Structure 1
Amino acid sequence: ISEAFRVLQPGGRFAVSDVVFLGEKHKLPPRVAWSVELWSGCISGALEKGEYEALLSQAGFVEVAVEVTHTYPPEQIAGLSGEEAEALRAVPAASAFIRSRKPKVK
């Protein structure tokens, strides 16, 4: 995120679509948090919504917005055990549109 801030011109926009957690990811069991299969599906390794907002702000971005576009029910995520599915019900994964702007130079 800091590299994106560095290379953008003043007033430039940062916009990505990514997976975010809508809860505290530290509550996920290790099998979910560190699964290679779930990593390739962009679930493991995802940031919490608040983490994304904080990292963008800390990098210097303004007008930070994380707009959730779809929440994934555990049933849509292949290969989960019952315990893992329950963990993802408590800490749901979601697609989000993330955007912010590098401030203009005054």
Structure 2
Amino acid sequence: MRSILAFAALVAAPLTAAAAQDQVAFRAITKADYTAAETQLAAQVAAGQREPGVLLNLAAVYNKTGRAAEAVALYRMVQSEQNVLMETASGAPIWSHDVATRGMTLASR
């Protein structure tokens, strides 16, 4: 269940430069290369990217690397935006606010 919470991509996202970078970051996360994933995702956030998949994956990296406060801040940012239907790595649909809520629960443990 934890992987469902941490690694999500937008449903039917167009193949843009941001989407391609998301795939690079996702592959890095699945290989536990959190440094590479963080580099990709943090650069997107710094460039103004606010898509839930980017924020949630960066929050997951922060959670995995012991930075719960930073993760919670990103989860709250996701919750402050529109709730969007997302697709998990397994293909199952889930709402962005649900992922953020569950992520905050994990971060507080």
Q: What range is the shorter-chain TM-score in?
A: under 0.3
Question: Which is richer in strand?
Answer: 1
Higher Rg: 1
Question: Which is richer in helix?
Answer: 2
Q: Larger RCO: Structure 1 or Structure 2 (Cα < 8 Å, ≥ 6 residues apart)?
A: 1
Q: TM-score, normalised by structure 1?
A: 0.28
Q: TM-score, normalised by structure 2?
A: 0.27
